[in-house]
Structure 1
Amino acid sequence: MKQFLIQILRISSFSIFSVFLFECNNSKTSEYAHAEISDSLRLIPVSSGKIFESHPEFAQGHASTIVAVNPGEYLIAWFGGTHEKHDDVSIWMSRGDGKTWETPQKVAKIRNDPHWNPVLFNAPDGKLHLYFKVGKEIDDWETWVQTSEDKGKTWSEPKELVPGDRGGRGPVRNHILILSDGTWLAPASNEKNKVWNAFLDRSMDGGKTWEATPFLELDRTLIPEEGVIQPTAWESSPGNVHLLMRSSGGKIARSDSKDYGKTWSPIYLTDLPNNNSAIEVAHLGREKIALIYNPVSGNWGDRNPINLAISLDNGKSWKIDQIIEKGDDPETEFSYPSIILDGEHLVLTYTWNRQKVAFWKFKIEGLDSAK
Structure 2
Amino acid sequence: MKPWISIYFLLLLASCTGYQPVLISREKIFTENTAGFRQCHASTLTETKDGNILCSWFGGDHEGAPSVKIWLSGWNHQSWSVPEAVADGKVSGNTTYPTWNPVLYTLPKTDSVLLFYKAGPNPRAWSGWLNTSADNGKTWSEAQGLKGLIGPVKNRPLMLRNGDLVSPSSKEFTEKDWKVHLEWSTDHGKTWKIIPVNYNQKDVQVIQPSIIEYRNGTLQLLARSQQNKVMTSFSYDHGRQWTLWKETSLANPNSGTDAIRLKNNWLLIVYNPEISGKNWWEGRTKLNVAISKDGQQWKDVLVLENGKDGDEYSYPSVIQASDGTIHVSYTWNRKNIVHAVIQ
User: Which category of TM-score, normalised to the shorter sequence, fits these structures?
Assistant: 0.7 to 0.9
Tell me what 2:315 maps to: 336
Q: Confirm or deny that 1:289 pairs with 2:267.
A: yes
- For 2:14 and 2:28, locate their aligned partners in 1 and report how far apart those are by CA, in whole Å: 28
Counterparts of 1:329-368 in structure 2 under 5 Å? 330-342=309-321, 343-363=323-343
Cα distance change on mapping 1:267 and 1:99 into 2, 3 Å: same
Q: Secondary structure at the match of 2:56?
A: strand
Deviations 1:173-225 (A, max 9, x none): 1010111111111000001222111111100000111100124245434x3xx
Cα distance change on mapping 1:72 and 1:122 into 2, 3 Å: closer
Which amino acid is 1:179 matched to?
L
Counterparts of 1:135-214 in structure 2 under 5 Å? 135-161=120-146, 163=147, 165=148, 168-194=149-175, 195-214=177-196
Tell me what 1:251 maps to: 229
Question: What's the offset of the Cα at 1:362?
Answer: 1.0
Q: Confirm or deny that 1:84 pairs with 2:66.
A: no
Counterparts of 1:279-318 in structure 2 under 5 Å? 279-285=257-263, 287-298=265-276, 300=280, 301-311=282-292, 313-318=293-298
Aligned alpha-carbon RMSD (Å):
2.1
Deviations 1:2-51 (A, max 9, x none): xxxxxxxxxxxxxxxxxxxxxxxxxxxxxxxxx99995423232221001
Does the Cα contact within 8 Å between 1:115 and 1:132 map onto a contact in 2? yes
Q: As a proportion of its length, which structure holds more helix? A: 1
TM-score (norm 1): 0.81
Query: Paired residues, what number?
Result: 319
Alignment gaps of 5+ in structure 2? 1-12, 91-95
Tell me what 1:32 maps to: none
Q: Secondary structure at the match of 1:276?
A: coil
Tell me what 1:242 maps to: 220
Q: Confirm or deny that 1:113 pairs with 2:94.
A: no
Alignment gaps of 5+ in structure 1? 1-34, 364-371
Question: What's the offset of the Cα at 1:247?
Answer: 0.2
- For 2:15 and 2:238, locate their aligned partners in 1 and report how far apart those are by CA, in whole Å: 37
Cα distance change on mapping 1:125 and 1:209 into 2, 3 Å: farther
Deviations 1:115-134 (A, max 9, x none): 00000001125111000000
Question: What's the offset of the Cα at 1:170?
Answer: 1.8
Q: Secondary structure at the match of 2:136?
A: coil
Tell me what 1:216 maps to: 198
Question: What's the offset of the Cα at 1:316?
Answer: 3.4
Cα distance change on mapping 1:192 and 1:39 into 2, 3 Å: closer
- For 1:353 and 1:241, locate their aligned partners in 2 and report how far apart those are by CA, in whole Å: 33
Which amino acid is 1:180 matched to?
R
Give % identity: 36
Cα distance change on mapping 1:228 and 1:283 into 2, 3 Å: same
Does the Cα contact within 8 Å between 1:180 and 1:238 map onto a contact in 2? no
Q: Confirm or deny that 1:128 pairs with 2:113.
A: yes
Does the Cα contact within 8 Å between 1:62 and 1:351 map onto a contact in 2? yes
- For 2:202 and 2:248, locate their aligned partners in 1 and report how far apart those are by CA, in whole Å: 16
